[in-house]
Amino acid sequence: MAKPFQIDALADEVLSLNDSGGIVAPFSERYPGLDAPAGYRAAARLHAARLARGWKLLGRKIGFTNRTLWPRYGVYEPMWGALYDRTVIFAQGDHATVPLAGLAQPRIEPEICFGLRAAPPVTHDADALLGAIEWIAHSIEIVQCHHPDWKLKIADCTADNGLHGRLVVGTPVPVRDLAELDVRLPALKVELRKGGAAVERGTGANVLGSPLEALAFLVEILSRQTDAPPLGAGEIVSTGTLTDAHSVAPGETWSTAFEGLPLKGMEVSFE
């Protein structure tokens, strides 16, 4: 287990890296005893520092819920990070312009996000989880990695706020307008395109079997983390990528299209 002074030093380093977009050797190679729980404690100090700077918590992102990617990255469990008013962009007319300045090795991830009406219970019951959700939307997360070639371990992810860079939120659809979501969410399909050319396709089942299962994971792990703020009404929760993550660069335009749910795709231009 990492010692308290090491966690403070790690939190300071992560804060500096998120300001500069720098690349360094993995934290897990340089902080003895660093594991996922210690990484979360460092992230809690990062969160406190951001709140002190005037940032506002808007919700959470969940990462590594796509189990098809676990062997590729060497990370075999989900994790979470915080979303802020400085990192969330609300698409206008299903289009957004996303600045990449300050992000380290950014990659794009098409996702499903939920807007909460209430704090969800600790459960895997789909109806109980849906009862806490006000709306569903398509989201696009831009993740980042401060380690060379995206070589990392789970502790590096938890310490670095779940690798969160930016989140674009699309048009919300009220849950009351959608039937059989417990069945339709795993079956939905998305196509990710770069400049109009298809890059990859994914499904809702890639996300721990269903985006609702990703929410269940988040509620459960937060119930055990006393230094993490609990989920509350009005928060946004993005549930993890439906496809692999793909590198993006300024000047590119990417887009998405959905099947299986009346969610609008988005077009995102990077600068």
Strand duo 267-270 + 246-247: pairing: unpaired
Nearest to 194 by CA among 124, 257, 120, 141: 257
Asked if residue 258 lies in contact with residue 138, where contact means CB atoms within 8 angstroms, the answer is: yes
Question: Residue 214: pLDDT above 90?
Answer: yes
- Dist CA 182 CA 37 (whole Å): 31
Q: What angle do CA 94, 208, 148 make, to 5 degrees?
A: 75
Q: Band of the pLDDT at 2, cuts 50, 70, 90?
A: confident
Which pLDDT does position 5 carry in this prediction? 74
Q: What is the mean pLDDT of residues 26-43?
A: 95
Q: What is the mean pLDDT of residues 216-234?
A: 95
Q: What is the mean pLDDT of residues 10-31?
A: 95
- Dist CA 60 CA 43 (whole Å): 13
Question: Residue 1: pLDDT above 90?
Answer: no
Residues whose CB falls within 8 Å of the CB of residue 64, separated by 6 or more in sequence, listed in order: 70, 73, 75, 77, 78, 79, 154, 157, 240
Q: Band of the pLDDT at 168, cuts 50, 70, 90?
A: very high
pLDDT digits (tens, 9 = 90+) for 52-76: 999 999 999 999 999 999 998 889 9
CATH code given to domain 4-270: 3.90.850.10
Q: What is the pTM of this model?
A: 0.96
Contacts 24+ apart (CB under 8 A), 193-200: 193/254, 193/255, 193/256, 193/257, 194/246, 194/252, 194/253, 194/254, 195/252, 195/253, 195/254, 196/255, 199/243, 199/246, 200/243, 200/244, 200/246
pLDDT digits (tens, 9 = 90+) for 100-132: 999 999 999 999 999 999 999 999 999 999 999
Question: Residue 197: pLDDT above 90?
Answer: yes
Mean pLDDT of the chain: 96
Q: What is the mean pLDDT of residues 7-27?
A: 94
Residue-range domain boundaries for the chain: 4-270
